[in-house]
Amino acid sequence: MTVTSMPRAAGADQPRRAPARGAAPRRRRSRIIVSRLGGGLAVLVPIVLISTFITYSLGALSNSNPAATILGQDAATPAAVARLNHALGLDHPLIVQYWNWLTQAAHGNLGRSYFTQIPVAQSIAQRLPVDLSIAVLAVILAAVIGGGAGMIAAIRRGGWFDRGVTVACSAASTLPAFVVGIILVVLFAVTAHLLPANGYVGPSTSIAQWLAHIILPSLALSLAVSADIARQLRTSLVEVLEQNYIVGARVRGLPYRRILVRHALRNAAGPALTILGNDFPLMLAGAVAAEAVFSLPGLGQLLLQSAQTRDIPVVQGLLLVISCFVIVVNLIVNTTLNWLYRANDGIGT
Amino acid sequence: MKRLIGPQSALRLPSARIAIVVLLGIAVLTAFGSTLAPQNPLTINANALFQGPGAHHLLGTDYLGRDVLSRLMAGTRLSVLTALEAVGIGLVLGTGPGIATVFLGRWFDFAANRVTDALMTLPYVFFAVAVTAALGNGLVQAMVPVGILLAPFFFRVTRAATLEHARAQYVEAAELMGASKLHVVRVHVLRKVLPTIAVTTASMAAAALLAVSFLTFLGIGVQPPAPTWGGVLSSDLAYLAQAPWAPFIPGALIAVTVGALNALADAFRDRRGAGTLAAQPDPIIRTHSTLEPADDDRQSQVA
């Protein structure tokens, strides 16, 4: 095995490159960074444009006539409808409407609800904390439960804990979040009366109450992802722990905990992190499920209400916010992965 | 399909056999569920509310005294057929471009991948609910967007598998002999990619079934008296104090069906290596090379 293909943790012990190497490598390095950024943007911009366009065209797909809806049956004369359509900008071609909507959205203006006239951004901002609390706590729980279980299973591979984790993972991945949520309600709220079965309290009112209300939804959400993470982490950690450099590190007398964290985990965490990033959309969708089970006043309830009343601007705004979240989380995960697997091309080493 | 019954067959695994039996049962329920149901799923019986499983009602009754077993059996068809609708849409939209993108050049590949990435940023249940706002409340309408959002998974898996096989030596040989792209796809690629697609179809069917039961749980697409798996679950939710065990029955039905689909996918994956993208020893080159290894090669192996 050559030095360059050595894993990163071992590479960290190598002497740093001498700084005085002239301007040429530095120029090359900056060119690599620029081309990478360019490549990243070339991928990111189309994604944002396409997904926002899909979101916006939903309004055009619906044959509903928003102006007539707003005006009501009596006032909806053709002239009044045309005037309101003009005021709402709905008489432009779809692509122009889309661009206007997108530029407004970039300034934080998502339009107003057709029915309540409340700005969409405001009602989303009101409800976002609920889903964010659940999703973030679920990610933390998934990382702790799944990561912990996967790690212990990998260290004690073949033991009873390992087999138990494998069985539990298969079972957990077949149970949808809303079923898990109901089971948790039955166990902890209806039978044991330990935690509230539904409702939401903001963290500014009472931190303890806030945690008590979001812990069950988050747990329900995190279970399937924990199972995925545990399975993936176990597989990759078992593989890494059998590598020569782990044996080498043990021979050098490093403490096992340090080997585990700095050498093994760092190299094995990639696939599990990817899963965490890929499952985030599922988590947000699952947050809708959790809201339905625990009757929380979140984005999902808003979506259901506005879908029933065909309040298109609210639906569009919600989809936009959700897909932006997914894109940002994916970016964060990819950046973290790049940092974990710093390539040998001179960036970051 | 000799592979289905050969010694290497995935069906030799006990987990796969159990899964097949479960899925056959579900298929029977899909076809004849409402006829086989022991009682009318809509009959309200005020004298038998919240009954536990017993001789008269095998799985108990709900808050209106309706027989849960009959409701679940009658609800199977809608749940399964709409799940299959979504999978079908995903399969058609995903695999075709997935194979084509390998042969159509870099620009098409770039564009197709960006569309895929964009679709993957939309959570499908969320999107399905949003589409019902535009297209009207109906399960058939709601599962179209789910199908569209399943397509990226088919696309990615098919593309990866096709890439792997399109670089094989025999494809190169066929091209050198003047075979057209269409011929290469039809004869050499499609057959190799099919197992991978089968695995993906099984796991996507599981995902679609989850989506259906969740949408019906939310009350999307069905008018209340009509029975669905998710609908039974959501009506139980309101009466947990009276019947805390009730949600476990539809929950178990969903979990068992999804588990069977996942087990089937896993069995195929384990046996055929299909759907896994890990590097494997290439069996293709070995079977197609009739040349004996050169002598010096053999000597170096001995030495």
Query: Which residue, chain included where needed, has tokens 């122009």?
Result: A96
CB contact under 8 A, B240 and A61: no
B43 to chain A, minimum CA–CA distance in Å?
26
Contact between residue B285 and residue B25 where contact means Cβ atoms under 8 Å apart: no
Q: Is B52 within the bounds of a domain?
A: no
CA B16 distance to own-chain centroid: 15
Q: Is B286 within the bounds of a domain?
A: yes
Q: Is B121 exposed, middle or buried (0-12, 13-18, 19+ CB in 10 A)?
A: buried
The whole-model pTM stands at: 0.77
Rg value, chain B, Cα? 24
Q: Rounded to the nearest 5°, which phi and psi values hold at B240? A: -65, -30
pLDDT grade, residue A24 (50/70/90)?
low
Higher-confidence position of A191 and A96: A96
Domains of chain A listed by start with CATH number: 123-345 (1.10.3720.10)
CA A55 distance to own-chain centroid: 18
- Residue A331, Cβ neighbours under 10 Å: how many? 13
Q: What does the alpha-carbon distance between residue A142 and residue A222 come to, in Å, rounded to a whole number?
A: 5
User: What was the pLDDT predicted at B301?
Assistant: 41
Q: What does the alpha-carbon distance between residue A74 and residue B76 come to, in Å, rounded to a whole number?
A: 44
CB contact under 8 A, A50 and B133: no
CB contact under 8 A, B122 and A293: no
CB contact under 8 A, B125 and A285: yes
Q: What does the alpha-carbon distance between residue A259 and residue A266 come to, in Å, rounded to a whole number?
A: 10
Q: Rounded to the nearest 5°, which phi and psi values hold at B221? A: 85, -5
User: What was the pLDDT predicted at B267?
Assistant: 79
| A46 has a chain B CB within 8 A of its CB | yes
CB contact under 8 A, A190 and B244: yes
Per residue in A293-311, pLDDT tens? Answer: 888 888 888 888 888 887 8
Contact between residue B154 and residue B94 where contact means Cβ atoms under 8 Å apart: yes
Return the residue in A188, A319, A331 with the most chain B beta carbons within 10 A, the one to mutate for interface testing: A319
CB contact under 8 A, B130 and A61: no
Query: Which residue, chain included where needed, has tokens 């998974």?
Result: B153
User: What was the pLDDT predicted at A341?
Assistant: 67
User: What was the pLDDT predicted at B36?
Assistant: 74
Residues linked to residue B67 through DSSP beta bridges, in sequence order? B61
pLDDT grade, residue A199 (50/70/90)?
confident
Return the residue in A65, A128, A179 with the most chain B beta carbons within 10 A, the one to mutate for interface testing: A179
Query: Quick check: helix, strand or coil at residue A296?
Result: coil
Question: The domain containing residue B289 runs over which residues?
Answer: 10-41+57-302
CB contact under 8 A, B118 and A322: no
Per residue in A203-232, pLDDT tens? Answer: 777 778 888 888 888 888 888 889 888 888
CB contact under 8 A, B118 and A304: no
Give the single-character DSSP code of A15.
Answer: P
Contact between residue B210 and residue B254 where contact means Cβ atoms under 8 Å apart: yes
Q: Is B51 within the bounds of a domain?
A: no
Q: Is B3 within the bounds of a domain?
A: no
Contact between residue B109 and residue B187 where contact means Cβ atoms under 8 Å apart: no
Q: Is B50 within the bounds of a domain?
A: no
Residues in chain B with pLDDT < 70? 1-12, 48, 55, 224, 271-303
User: What was the pLDDT predicted at A4?
Assistant: 40
Residues of B with Cβ-Cβ distance to A176 under 8 angstroms: 210, 213-214, 254-255, 258
pLDDT grade, residue A281 (50/70/90)?
low
Contact between residue B93 and residue A267 where contact means Cβ atoms under 8 Å apart: no
Residues of A with Cβ-Cβ distance to B133 under 8 angstroms: 58, 62, 306-308, 310-312, 315
Per residue in A54-72, pLDDT tens? Answer: 888 877 776 666 666 666 6
Residues of B with Cβ-Cβ distance to A333 under 8 angstroms: none
User: What was the pLDDT predicted at A145?
Assistant: 92
Q: Is B28 within the bounds of a domain?
A: yes
Q: In the predicted model, is pLDDT for residue A252 greater than 60?
A: yes
Cβ neighbors of A187 (< 8 A, separation 6 or more) are none
Contact between residue A51 and residue B119 where contact means Cβ atoms under 8 Å apart: yes
- What is the sign of the dihedral through the CA atoms of A302, A76, A59 and A112? negative
CB contact under 8 A, A43 and B114: yes
Q: What does the alpha-carbon distance between residue A214 and residue A294 come to, in Å, rounded to a whole number?
A: 9
C-alpha distances in Å from residue B104, one per residue of A208, B97, B111, B202? 58, 10, 11, 28
Q: What does the alpha-carbon distance between residue A236 and residue A250 come to, in Å, rounded to a whole number?
A: 19
Q: What does the alpha-carbon distance between residue A336 and residue A47 come to, in Å, rounded to a whole number?
A: 20
| A328 has a chain B CB within 8 A of its CB | no
Return the residue in B117, B126, B212, B253 with the most chain A beta carbons within 10 A, the one to mutate for interface testing: B126
CB contact under 8 A, B251 and A182: yes
User: What was the pLDDT predicted at A2?
Assistant: 38
User: What was the pLDDT predicted at A128?
Assistant: 85
CA A269 distance to own-chain centroid: 17
User: What was the pLDDT predicted at A105?
Assistant: 82
Contact between residue B14 and residue B245 where contact means Cβ atoms under 8 Å apart: no
User: What was the pLDDT predicted at B88?
Assistant: 94
Q: Is B46 within the bounds of a domain?
A: no
A203 to chain B, minimum CA–CA distance in Å?
26
CATH number for the domain spanning B71: value is: 1.10.3720.10
- Identify the closest residue of chain A to B132 by CA–CA distance: A307
Q: What does the alpha-carbon distance between residue B81 and residue B8 come to, in Å, rounded to a whole number?
A: 32
Query: Quick check: helix, strand or coil at residue B242?
Result: coil
Q: In the predicted model, is pLDDT for residue A132 greater than 60?
A: yes
Overall average pLDDT of the A176-187 stretch: 82
CB contact under 8 A, A47 and B237: no
Q: How many domains does chain B have?
A: 1
Q: In the predicted model, is pLDDT for residue A339 greater than 70?
A: yes
Return the residue in B121, B125, B232 with the most chain A beta carbons within 10 A, the one to mutate for interface testing: B121
